[in-house]
Chains A and B, each alone.
Chain A
Amino acid sequence: MFNNRRLMQMLRQTGALFPFVVIFGLLSGGLVILQALELSKVITGVFLQGKTLVEVKGLLWLFGGIILARVLFTILNDSLANALAVKIKTLLRSQLLQKIDRLGPAYTQSQQSGELVTTAFQGVEALDAYFSQYLPQILLAVMLPLLILGVVFPLDWLSGLVFLLTAPLIPFFMALVGRASEAETKKQWLALSRLGADFLDTLQGLTTLKTMGQSKKQVKRVAEVSDRYRLATMNVLRITFLSAFVLELLATISTAVVAVEVGLRLLYGNLLFEQAFFVLLLAPEFYQPMRNLGMRYHAGMTGVTASVRIFQLLDETEPSRVLVSGEAVPPLDLNRPFNLTFENVSFAYPQNNGDSLNEIRLRLDSGRSYTLVGHSGAGKSTFLKLLMRFIEPTTGVMALNGVDARSYTLKEWRRQISWVSQKPMLFNTSLLENIRLEDESISEEAVWQALEQAHLVDFAMTLPERLQTPVGEWGARLSGGQAQRVALARAFLKEAALVLLDEPAEHLDADLEAELALSTQELLRQRTVVTIAHRLNTLQQSDQVILLEHGRILEQGQPDQLLRANGAYARLIRSSGEAAA
Chain B
Amino acid sequence: MKEIRQLLSFLRPFAKEVALSVLIGVATIGAGVGMLGTSAFLIASAALHPSIADLQVAIVGVRFFGISRSVFRYLERLVSHSVNLRVLTSLRVWLYEAAERVAPAGLQTERGGELLNRVMADLDTLENFYVRVVSPVLVAVVITAGMSLFLGGYFWPLGLILAAGMLLNGFILPGLSILLTRHSGARLQQARADLSANLLETFQGLADLQASGANERWLQKVEADSRKVGRLQLFYGVLTGFNDGMALLVLNLTLLAVLAAAIPQVSAGQMSGVSLAVVSLLTMAAFEATNTLPQAAQNLTASVASARRLFSLVRSQRVEAEPLPDLPEERLQAAERIEIRGLDFSYPGNPQVVLQHIDLTLQRGRITALVGPSGGGKTSLVNLLLRFWQPAAGTILLDGVDIRTFSEESTRRLFGVISQSSYLFAQTLRQNLRLAKPEATDKELMMVLQLAELEEWYQTLPEGLSTWLGEQGERMSGGERQRLAIARVLLQDTPFVLLDEPTANLDAETEKRLLATLKRVFADKGVLMITHRLAGLEMASDIEFIAGGQVSEKGDQNQLLAQKGAFARYWQLQKNQT
Contacts and interface: CB of A to CB of B under 8 A. Distances in A.
Given A82-B238, A98-B219, A209-B435, A266 B248 contact: no
B65 to A, nearest CB: 7
B569 A230 contact: no
A445 interface: no
A79 B280 contact: no
Interface string A268-308: 01000100110011001000000000000000000000000
Interface string A41-62: 0110011101111001000100
Contact of B570 (A77, A204, A284, A509): A509
B578 A576 contact: yes
A226 B88 contact: yes
A267 B54 CA distance: 11
B185 interface: no
Given A97-B222, A203-B119, A222-B93, A260 B59 contact: yes
A212 B375 CA distance: 26
A93 B74 contact: no
A252 B285 CA distance: 13
Nearest to A24: B241
A67 B253 contact: yes
A427 interface: yes
Nearest to A374: B578
B574 A580 contact: yes
B437 to A, nearest CB: 9
B211 A419 contact: yes
Interface string A162-175: 00000000000000
Contact of A581 (B199, B416, B417, B575): B575
A140 interface: no
Interface in B185-206: 192, 195-206
A552 interface: no
A415 B570 contact: no
A275 to B, nearest CB: 10
Given A94-B223, A256-B35, A267 B373 contact: no
Contacts of A421: 207-208, 211
Contact of A211 (B192, B206, B412, B438): B412
Nearest to B204: A113
A370 to B, nearest CB: 15
Contacts of B104: 206-207, 210
Contacts of B43: 259, 262-263, 266, 273, 276-277, 280
Contact of A47 (B234, B273, B547): B273
Contact of A222 (B50, B96, B273, B375): B96
Nearest to B489: A212
A79 B241 contact: yes
A513 interface: yes
A238 interface: yes
Given A248-B70, A280-B39, A535-B576, A43 B277 contact: yes
Interface string B84-122: 011011001100110110011001000100001001100
Contacts of B89: 223, 226-227, 230
Contacts of A70: 248, 252
A264 B281 CA distance: 19
A380 to B, nearest CB: 11
Interface stretch (A83-91, A325-333, A357-365, A446-454): A83-91
Contacts of B49: 267, 269
Contacts of A146: none
B226 A94 contact: yes
B211 A388 contact: yes
B245 A263 contact: no
B260 interface: yes
B573 interface: yes
Contact of B214 (A208, A437, A536): A437
Nearest to A199: B92
Contact of A210 (B100, B209, B508): B100
A390 B82 CA distance: 54
Contacts of B97: 219
B81 A237 contact: yes
Nearest to B231: A86
A78 B59 contact: no
A508 interface: yes
Contacts of B357: none
B461 interface: no
B203 A108 contact: yes
Nearest to A98: B219
Residue from A50, A219, A472 with most neighbouring chain B CB atoms (10 Å): A219
5 contacts: A42-B263, A101-B206, A121-B195, A234-B82, A245-B71
5 closest pairs, A vs B, by CB?
A82-B237, A78-B241, A256-B66, A47-B273, A425-B205
